[in-house]
């Protein structure tokens, strides 16, 4: 900050030097003396700091008028329930049968997953089983490979495939077990009901926590729309990013990858390469440092006696499937 708002004395020099006329260095005549140095510093400091204070006030006002603590709570609770419905329910239980569960737990998982608005449960499971049957080959509903360039491929795997119906899985062929289950078939048929319940829930929760219609509406915004946005794109990223970027260590015949940073929001689903190596495993994180919240939820449910026959892959079986180190990284 060189310009100040402090009053300053007019120049003592009567004749301004012509631009570029001075061939010697600056003298005292070149410098504008300050009448009150302390006042100058104070004012400069004030106009430097004031905008930051203003920004703080704006943030504080937004927090109190547009964003409440109740919104954060509603978002977190609704996100957690819907995400667990998809990862623990739709994916690990219904698609891959990686554990058995009490009927009411099964029902709750089916309903929470439906509320995530990723399609009716049986179609979701059928498409995902077809994805495993043809991973990154002709017939895979959402591979980022085999398209005109990587960007088109990633876009197709992320969201484009949802608008195309040529590779959707045949429900009779891929999900006869679920079509036979009366309650699951009912949850599938009444998908719209669970979508609406998934929106009514954050509205009611916002009202309950915040105590006003305002917090109910912002609860609907955060627990409904924002939650939908985040969870959708996290799920889409498993299909796009986790078949494109990341690390691999097992000998599998597809392009699946482990993407560590996505494991937090995806509740462990981004250890997707591990998952393709051992699709029935209830745990996608196979090392202690591979954070997998869905796996922790399944362990918790097992401890409570609500789920059992949890499929686990022994370290020996994992080791057998590792890519030969020499072949994977020559010279290292
Ligand atoms: Zn995959
Ligand atoms: Zn899977």
Distance from residue 267's CA to the centre of ligand 1 (Å)? 15
Q: Could you say which ligand is closest to the alpha carbon of residue 94? A: 2
- Averaged pLDDT for residues 268-291: 97
Closest ligand (CA of 131): 1
Backbone phi and psi for residue 323, each to the nearest 5 degrees, phi listed first: -65, 140
| Residue 22 pLDDT exceeds 60 | no
The pLDDT tens digits of the residues spanning 171-205 come to 999 999 999 999 999 999 999 999 999 999 999 99
Distance 93 CA to ligand 2 centre (A): 10
Rounded to an integer, the average pLDDT of 31-45 is 74
User: Is the confidence at residue 51, as pLDDT, over 70?
Assistant: yes
Nearest ligand to the CA of 142 is: 1
* pLDDT for the residue numbered 60: 72
- Quote the ligand 2 centre to 128 CA distance (angstroms): 6
CA nearest neighbour of 238 among 309, 159, 304, 319 = 159
- pTM for this predicted structure: 0.79
- Kindly report the number of other CB atoms within 10 A of residue 57's CB atom: 10
Instruction: Decide: helix, strand or coil at residue 273.
Output: helix
Question: Concatenated DSSP letters for 193-230?
Answer: HHHHHHHHHHHHHHHHHH-SHHHHHHHHIIIIIIHHHH
**By the 8 A CB rule, do 90 and 268 touch?**
no
Ligand 2 centroid from CA 7, angstroms: 71
Ligand nearest to the CA of 244: 1
Closest CA to 157 of 73, 220, 83, 242: 242
């Amino acid at each position: 900050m060189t310009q100040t708002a402090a009053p300053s004395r007019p120049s003592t020099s009567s004749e301004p030097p012509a631009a570029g006329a001075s061939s010697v260095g600056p003298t005292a005549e070149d410098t504008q003396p300050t009448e009150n140095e302390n006042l100058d510093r104070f004012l400069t400091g004030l106009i430097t700091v004031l905008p930051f204070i203003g920004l703080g006030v704006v943030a504080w006002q937004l927090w109190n008028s547009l964003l409440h603590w109740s919104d954060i709570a509603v978002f977190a609770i609704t996100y957690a329930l819907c995400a667990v419905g998809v990862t623990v329910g739709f994916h690990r239980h219904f698609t891959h049968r990686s554990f058995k569960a009490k009927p009411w737990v099964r029902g709750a998982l089916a309903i929470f997953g439906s509320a995530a608005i990723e399609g009716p449960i049986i179609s979701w499971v059928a498409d995902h089983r077809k994805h495993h049957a043809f991973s990154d080959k002709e017939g895979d509903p959402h591979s980022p490979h085999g398209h005109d360039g990587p960007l088109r491929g990633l876009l197709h795997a992320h969201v484009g495939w949802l608008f195309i119906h040529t590779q959707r899985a045949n429900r009779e062929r891929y999900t006869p077990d679920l079509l036979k289950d009366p309650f699951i078939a009912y949850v599938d048929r009444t998908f719209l009901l669970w979508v609406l319940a998934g929106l009514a829930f954050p509205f009611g929760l916002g009202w309950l926590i915040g105590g006003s219609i305002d917090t109910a509406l912002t609860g609907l915004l955060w627990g409904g729309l924002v939650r939908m946005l985040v969870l959708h794109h996290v799920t889409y990223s498993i299909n796009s990013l986790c078949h494109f970027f990341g690390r691999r260590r097992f000998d599998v015949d597809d392009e699946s990858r482990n993407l560590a940073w996505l494991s937090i929001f995806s509740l462990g689903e981004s250890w997707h390469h591990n998952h393709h190596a051992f699709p029935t495993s209830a745990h996608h994180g196979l090392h202690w440092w591979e954070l997998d919240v869905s796996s922790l939820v399944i362990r918790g449910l097992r401890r409570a006696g609500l789920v059992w026959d949890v499929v686990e892959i022994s370290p020996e079986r994992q080791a057998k499937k590792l890519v030969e180190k020499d072949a994977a990284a020559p010279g290292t």
